[in-house]
Structure 1
Amino acid sequence: MRDANFLTENNARQIWHPMAHPAEMQASPPRIIMKGEGLHVTDLDGRTVLDAVGGLWNVNLGYSCDPVKQAIAAQLAVLPYYSGFRGTSTGPSIELAWELAQWFAPEGMVRTFFTSGGSDSVESALRLARQYWKIRGERDRTKFIALKKGYHGTHFGGASVNGNANFRRNYEPLLPGVFHIPVPWTYRNPFGETDPAKLADLCARALEDEIAFQGPDTVAAFIMEPVLGAGGVIVPHESFMRRVREICDRHGILLIADEVVTGFGRAGAWSGSRLWGVKPDFMTLAKAITSGYFPLGATMIGEKVAEVFEADKTAFGAIGHGYTYSGHPVGCAAGIAALAETKRLGLNENAAARGAELTTALEALKAKHPLVGDVRSKGLMAALELVSDRDAKTPADKKTMARVADAAYEAGVMVRISSNSIILSPPLILTSSDVAKIAEALDTGIASA
C-alpha cells in the first residue's frame, strides 16, 4: 500500500463518496480508516475509536471474526468465482440457501434469490412482485405503496419507494405508480398524535384510504422496514405491521419486509417481521448476512409466491433478472460462517439486552441536555434527535451536528450523523462497558455543542 502522505494527498480526489457532496469531501476530506479489530477501528493518524456505527449497520460480528475470514480464504483457494446463472450452482450457494430457509421458516420463507447487496435485494423484490401478478393474470397490479421516511436503497426502484426527498429529488422523475403514506412516528407526524397505538391506527387508516383511492386491483405490493433505519430509527407501535399485514391480505396485496438492517438480530429478534409477529411475502436481506466481510444479499420468497412461480407453465414465470455476482461462492461461504457465529453467540439476545442499557443511557442524556429532543431505539438501533428548540422541535443545524460528532470521535467513539439525528448501530458483540463508553462520548460531544 502507498504511504500515508500519498493517501492523505489523494483522499477524496479520485473517489466520489456515497451520500456526500464531492466538493465538500474535497474541501474537508473524510477520515481514512486503516484497521479494524473487535469493535474498534483505527484511522491513518493512529487514533483508535469504538465503532458505534458498525461499519454501516452491518458489522454485527465486529472486525475480528476469524471463522468468517477463514471461510473466505478456504473458498478462495478452491473456487474464487462461478456464475449462478441458469445451468450452474455452487456448493456454498446451495448450502446458504438451505440455511436461510431454516433460519426464516417462522416467517414462511421458502426460496432464496441471491443478490450483491441491499439495494439489489429490494430491486429484486419489486420486480418479482410485479411478475407474480403477471403470472396470476392480474396485469394491472403494478403500483407500490410505501412509508414516508422509509429507506429502500439507491436503485431506481428502491429510490422510488424511498420516502425521503434527500434520496429522491436529484434523480427524479422516478418510477411511476409509487405512493407514500404517513409513517407512525410519534415525534413528528401530520396528525399531531403522540400516542403510539392511536398513531399506528391513523397510519393504517391512511393505507386503507390510499388503497381505495388507487384501486386495490392496481396495487402490487406494500413495502416497509419493520423498524425504519436510515429515516431516523423510527419504531412503529407493535400493532402497526400486523395491521398492515391484515389490510394487505384483505385486498390481495403482497407485503415486502425490508429486513436489510433488521435481519439477523439487530432489533433484538432474528428479524423485524418476527419481532412484530408477521409473515411477509418477501424479505430483503443483506448487510449482516456476511457481517460486512463480503458483498452479498438475498431476496427471500414466501410459500404463496413461490407456488405461483413454480406452477407456471408460461414464459411469465421465467426470471429474466439477476446479477453477475448472484450467489457468489466466496460470499456464500462467508454467509454460512457468519450465520453460524451469529447463532452461536446469540446476538439477537445480546442486542436486546445491550439495547435496553443503551436506551437507558440515552434517556439520561436527554434529561441532561436540552439539545436532545427525542430518543428512539429498538435493540441496537438507536437515534438521538438534536434540536435547537425543544418546544418548537427546531432541528439542530449542520454545524452543530458536526461538532457533536467530532467531539465524540475525539472522546473515542465513531457515530453517524443523518440530518439532525445521531445514529447508533454498533456491532452486536457490544458489552455493557462499551455501552457506557458510547454514552460518555456522546455526553462529551453534546456538551461541546
Structure 2
Amino acid sequence: MTQSPFSPGVTAGRLDDAALRENFSDLHPALDAHEALVAADRCYFCHDAPCVTACPTDIDIPLFIRQIATGTPDAAAKTILSQNIMGGMCARVCPTETLCEEVCVREVAEGKPVLIGQLQRYATDHLQGQGIHPFSRAAVTGKTVAVVGAGPAGLSCAHRLAVLGHDVTVFDAQPKPGGLNEYGIAAYKTPEGFAQAEVDWLMQVGGITLTHDTALGTDVTLEQLSAQYDAVFLGMGLGGVNALGVEGGDKAGVLDAVDFIADLRQAGDLTALPVGRDVVVIGGGMTAVDAAVQSKLLGALNVTLAYRRGRDRMNASVFEQDLASSKGVRIMTHVVPKAVHGNGSVREIEFEYVNDEMSGTGQTVRVAADQVLRAIGQTLEGDGLPALERGKIAVTGAGRTSVDGVWAGGDCATGGDDLTVTAVAEGRDAAMDIHEALTGAAQ
C-alpha cells in the first residue's frame, strides 16, 4: 500500500484492480432487446399518464415506450431527446423511483412499476451508439448567446439555442465539459466515459463553441459577456462548500465530498486513489451517499454516514439510502458534529444527538475517523451576479434574472430542486425564452 500524505491511515491500494473493476461496474446493466420488449409490454399506455406529469422534462413516456414495443427504439429516443437532450444521462442518474416510476399505475396497483428509466436508457443508447444525432439547426439567426457552465443546464440551453439557429459559446471553469455529470456523480452510475461521450454526441448539432478553464468573475465578467453577446445564460452550478464550523474542522483528513468524488471520477487508476480505513461522511443528500458508497467500494473498512435529521428527511432517496446500507455503510441520524479530534490529523469526530427540532440533547458520541468528507451543502460563488435570493440567483418565469438579457438555471438559480433532470428542463425552457426575446418568435 502507498501511504497518503494527508492523514495517517489514509492509503491507496486497499483493493486490487480486479476488485475495483467489479465494485465500480455499471449499477444498472443495460437491458438487451428482448428484456426491453418485455419491460415495454407491461406499460398500459395510459391516457393523461401520471408518469408524464411527474417528469420534470415532460417526456411523453407512454409514446416512447410504445415505440420501443413496436420495434422502433430510435423513434423512441427522438421522442425522449426532443424534451430532454441529456436523456441518456438522466436515465442513469435520475431518481425515477421518486418521480415517474413512483406514480406509475403498475407501481400503485402492484408495487412493481414499468422500468421507465431503464427503457429510456435502452432507447437513447440505441440511437447514440450509432452516432446518430437526430436534430439539425434552423437557419442561422445572427444572434449570439454566452452560456456560463457546461453542466446539464448549460448544455441543455446551448443545444436548444443552437437548434433554433443561434451561435452559442459555452464558458466553463473546468478543463472538461459536463459539470456535475462529469465531476460529481458516482462512477458506478456512469462508467466507461459516458458523460464525455454524451457531450461529444450533443456537440454534433453544430453552432456551439466550448471554452474551457474560464471562470466567471475570474477570467471573464458578466458585464463583459453582456456587452459582447445578445444574451447570457448562467448555469455554473454551486462552486463553494459549506464549512463544518466546529473546533478542529481544519485538521488534515477533513475534505469536501465533492472534491473526493471529482478526484475519483478523474482518476485513471483507482488503486492509486487514497481512502481511509474509518471514513465518516457528513450529510444526507445524494452527494453524501455517493461519497459514502464509493469509499466503501474503494476498500474502506468502516464507513459512517451522519445526518442531522431522521432518514425520512434525507434528500437522498430511499433507494439511495438502501443502496448505501446494502454496501455496508452505517447511517447515523439525529446527530450534528461538535468537534474534530486528533493531533494534526483527524482521529475521531464527536457528534451530539439532537431531537426532531434540532435541539441538542447533551448526549455525545465519538466515532473513529481518519477521513471525514463534508457533504453539507454547496454555495454560490462569484462577483457581479444578478440579485440573489436564499443564496442563489433569483429567477422568475423561464429563468429571467434581475438583469435584462441575463437568464439563469440549474443549481445556481432558485427555480428548481438540484436534480440533473430539473437542470436540463430549466436550461431548455430558458433557451426557448431567450429565443423569443431575441427574435420575437415563440416556438
Report the TM-score, using the length of structure 2 for normalisation: 0.26
The structure with higher relative contact order (CA 8 Å, sep 6+) is 1
The structure that is helix-richer by fraction is 1
